[in-house]
Amino acid sequence: MSTGKLQINVFDGSIANPLSNSTVSVTISGQPENVVGEVLTNSSGKTDTLTLDAPPVEYSLNPGSPKPYSDYDVIIKKDGFESITINGVQILPDAIAAQNIYMKKSDDNENSERSYTIPDHTLYGTFPPKIAEEAVKPLPEASGFVVLDKVVIPEFIVVHDGSPYDDSAPNYWIPYQDYIKNVASSEIYATWPEEAIKANVLVIISFTLNRVFTEWYRSRGKNFTITSSTAYDQKFVYQRNIFQEISNVVDDIFSTFITKPSIDQPLFTQYCDGINVTCPGWLSQWESKNLGEQGEDYINILRRYYGSEIYLESATEVTGIPISFPGETLDVGSSGDAVRTIQRQLNSISNNYPLIPKLAVDGNYGQSTLDAVKTFQKIFDLPQTGYVDYKTWYEISKVYTAVMRLSN
């Protein structure tokens, strides 16, 4: 039997503070008496990493195989908060699953609980195929809503959890990067070659940013950005676990999208699995995995489907971030305003995450700043390099923005 890993991160949903000493129980899905792990969260709201049984990795590399992941149920309890159960947490072999939990304070004298169920993965279950659309969209006229004049990374994606015509379905405000990670974890397997994961993530990003840039649903009188329906958009599962291997790729390229010289918008990059549904001219998920195994890099994988003229472009503005990445990695010996920004932001974050040491805001990147950055990277599941590269800069900025918003 192969194994995969699971880490649970628990927060106070009202103020986003980490919740220490939360009790986490993990059972085999549908077998509450079969407990395979019980752990407590630390001061950063994180559990130790659990090693759990999973099917052979070959199942996730070959279509038509038995279910390639194991299902587990996760139960989280904390005095003064509603209990939460996540049914069907998916564990892939040789991959790290992360389950984020946002607890809600319970009313006095109530022992309330909430439960969520993660459905089958799209490559294993049965879901409606994508209804074809034009790859380049007409832009709406400015009449009652903002029309973007450039591609901007939004702070949130408003996801309508159902068909666009189902007015009873709820809307969820999801941070942009979390949305991309959720969709990618729902649409592909984290065991695939990294170049195939990159190609698929770029397709998901471009699809999403096209919906944002063209105001596709809002220009039609809707109050959301995108839906969770595979017939109209791409799969999103509220409260699902994500995979660290996918998360790392998203953090590296979240502002990059696919376009063509002749268009002024992200290409609407539709895709399908290529097995149950075929889609000439769109990316085939399973075939892209095969191409990655054959040594193709992500840009050549993409050009096989969307044409040799496509190229990658990066959005220069990330909404909700106080200061954009300075353009070069900060490390020991760096100095100046960018270092002061990181020191100031880490000091604010440390009020919620006390493992991060306080820093002198002197603009000099010395050993103390290196150590504080490493601690931040460990807490937020980034490579523990100690230097501030693109992904670390934006993760620090994102957490800082959340902490400051909630403190006000």
Is 202 in the same domain as 234? yes
Is 51 in the same domain as 170? no
**Residues 224 and 75 sit within 8 Å (Cβ to Cβ):** no
Instruction: Tell me the CATH number at 337.
Output: 1.10.101.10
Please state, in angstroms and rounded to a whole number, the distance separating the CA atoms of residues 331 and 363. Answer: 12
pLDDT, average across residues 280-303: 98
Give the predicted TM-score (pTM) of the model. Answer: 0.93
Backbone angles phi, psi at 272, to 5 degrees: -150, 175
Whether 131 maps to a domain, the answer reads no
**Residues 45 and 22 sit within 8 Å (Cβ to Cβ):** yes
What integer pLDDT is reported at residue 109 of this predicted model?
Answer: 55
pLDDT higher than threshold 80 for residue 140 = no
Please state, in angstroms and rounded to a whole number, the distance separating the CA atoms of residues 273 and 288. Answer: 9
Residue ranges making up the domain that contains 375 = 324-407
Of 282, 317, 352, the one marking the end of a domain is: 317
What integer pLDDT is reported at residue 322 of this predicted model?
Answer: 87
pLDDT, average across residues 24-51: 96
Instruction: For the beta carbon of residue 190, count every other beta carbon within 10 angstroms.
Output: 25
Whether 134 maps to a domain, the answer reads no
DSSP string for 282-321: SEEHHHHHHHHHTT--HHHHHHHHH-TT-EEEE-SEETT-
Whether 142 maps to a domain, the answer reads no
Instruction: For the beta carbon of residue 138, count every other beta carbon within 10 angstroms.
Output: 9
Please state, in angstroms and rounded to a whole number, the distance separating the CA atoms of residues 242 and 91. Answer: 10
Per-residue confidence at 183, pLDDT binned at 50, 70, 90? very high
What integer pLDDT is reported at residue 404 of this predicted model?
Answer: 85
Is 165 in the same domain as 289? yes
What integer pLDDT is reported at residue 110 of this predicted model?
Answer: 62
What integer pLDDT is reported at residue 85 of this predicted model?
Answer: 97
Percent helix, strand, coil in the chain, to 5, is 30, 25, 50
Is 273 in the same domain as 335? no
Is 285 in the same domain as 371? no
What integer pLDDT is reported at residue 74 of this predicted model?
Answer: 98
pLDDT higher than threshold 90 for residue 13 = no
What integer pLDDT is reported at residue 111 of this predicted model?
Answer: 65
Of 117, 132, 163, the one marking the end of a domain is: 117
Is 219 in the same domain as 266? yes
Whether 168 maps to a domain, the answer reads yes
- 58-72, 136-150, 188-202: least confidently modelled range: 136-150
**Residues 359 and 343 sit within 8 Å (Cβ to Cβ):** yes
Instruction: Tell me the CATH number at 57.
Output: 2.60.40.1120
Whether 401 maps to a domain, the answer reads yes
Is 304 in the same domain as 332? no
Is 35 in the same domain as 54? yes
What integer pLDDT is reported at residue 403 of this predicted model?
Answer: 85
Residue 266: name the closest of 252, 249, 254 by CA. 254
What integer pLDDT is reported at residue 1 of this predicted model?
Answer: 80
**Residues 119 and 149 sit within 8 Å (Cβ to Cβ):** no
State what percent of residues in the chain have pLDDT above 90: 88
Please state, in angstroms and rounded to a whole number, the distance separating the CA atoms of residues 297 and 316. Answer: 25
- Token pair for residue 343? 């020191």
Whether 366 maps to a domain, the answer reads yes
- 14-18, 91-95, 199-203: least confidently modelled range: 14-18
DSSP string for 190-257: TTS-HHHHHHHHHHHHHHHHHHHHTTTTGGGT-S-SEES-TTTS----TT--EEHHHHHHHHHHTTEE
pLDDT higher than threshold 70 for residue 382 = yes
pLDDT higher than threshold 90 for residue 43 = yes
pLDDT higher than threshold 60 for residue 128 = yes
Of 258, 286, 317, the one marking the end of a domain is: 317
pLDDT higher than threshold 70 for residue 308 = yes
| DSSP letter (8 states) at residue 369 | H
Please state, in angstroms and rounded to a whole number, the distance separating the CA atoms of residues 269 and 137. Answer: 11
pLDDT in tens, 226-256: 999 999 999 999 999 999 999 999 999 999 9
Is 288 in the same domain as 341? no
Whether 124 maps to a domain, the answer reads no
Mean per-residue pLDDT of the chain: 94
Q: Is the dihedral of CA 119, 121, 125, 131 positive or negative?
A: positive
pLDDT, average across residues 163-169: 97
Whether 137 maps to a domain, the answer reads no
Is 330 in the same domain as 288? no
**Residues 60 and 92 sit within 8 Å (Cβ to Cβ):** yes
Is 308 in the same domain as 350? no
**Residues 351 and 344 sit within 8 Å (Cβ to Cβ):** no
Which residue type sits at 79? D
pLDDT higher than threshold 60 for residue 144 = no
pLDDT higher than threshold 70 for residue 323 = yes
Number of domains in the chain: 3
The H-or-E segment that residue 338 falls in is helix 337-350
- The CA radius of gyration of the chain, in Å to the nearest whole number, is 21
Is 159 in the same domain as 302? yes
Please state, in angstroms and rounded to a whole number, the distance separating the CA atoms of residues 202 and 196. Answer: 10
